[in-house]
Amino acid sequence: MARGFRVREVENRDTIPGLPNGMESQERAMTKTLDSKIAVITGAARGIGSAIAKRFAAEGASVVINYLTRKDEAERTMGAIQSEGGTAFLFQADITKASEVKALFAATVDRFGGLNILVNNAGLNEKAPLQQVTEEHFHKHFNVNVLGMLQASREASQYLEANHGCILNISSLTSNHPARGSAVYGGSKAAVEAITATLALELGPSNIRVNSISPGVVKTEQLEELSFMTPEVRGQIAAMTPLRRLGEPEDIAAAAVILCSHDARWITGQSIRVSGGLI
């Protein structure tokens, strides 16, 4: 079966008009999970964001790949999607700037005619022990991880209501699993989870669902860039994880598909760990 398709149990086998007998089951079985959905994914040039973009496109969504500086990587993500027959386009926007966020969603609606899903994936993670925390370090993290998420959610909400859409925020285990040097980053991700619950309450009457995923340690390009993440440290983390391995970006993407699908239609306000059992 082609990659990206998911077999669904067929509950109603009544004949679909216009299809030969028996073909209705095949038609439903081959339906993609996010068929005809339109999704904006922030920070989608690489890592988890790129994996989500690729998986959403494979599941039938038209994907907007937002990036800030990594144009080459964003183009590779788009190329990978298009090579598999998916639909995607790039949009450069700094989510900390309200005018650029507005332009991002205006371009999306102009291109595709609406919006069903927002994934707030863009994030910053720079470690600093308390004595090295500066105003700049603090504001950099909260501007991207919190303000950017809020601005994107605010702008998207006006389009999501018409389609009973959803928002998915990418958090971190660091929100409630302390790590040295992560006071600011962990604090920003704790804010993400608090905001997730609040927005679910506020936007629920508009039929907009809001959830978050807290990934465990995932093998991304960013992980490769962390000097302290030596092979020994990675092995120790894997040994502490009940499923005995680090995560792959595709593990997070698979969970994102579930939470943004119709199957999750009564799930909102939840912060879900996708961590191989690590808590």
Q: Catalytic residues, which ones?
A: 185
- 8 Å CB contact between 190 and 264: no
SS3 for 195?
Answer: helix
- 8 Å CB contact between 192 and 171: yes
CA 160/CA 175 separation, integer angstroms: 27
φ and ψ at residue 137, rounded to 5 degrees: -60, -45
From the list 166, 169, 167, 144, the residue with the least C-alpha distance to 93 is 144
Enumerate the H helices of the chain as residue ranges. 23-29, 47-58, 71-83, 98-112, 135-142, 149-160, 183-203, 221-225, 231-240, 249-259
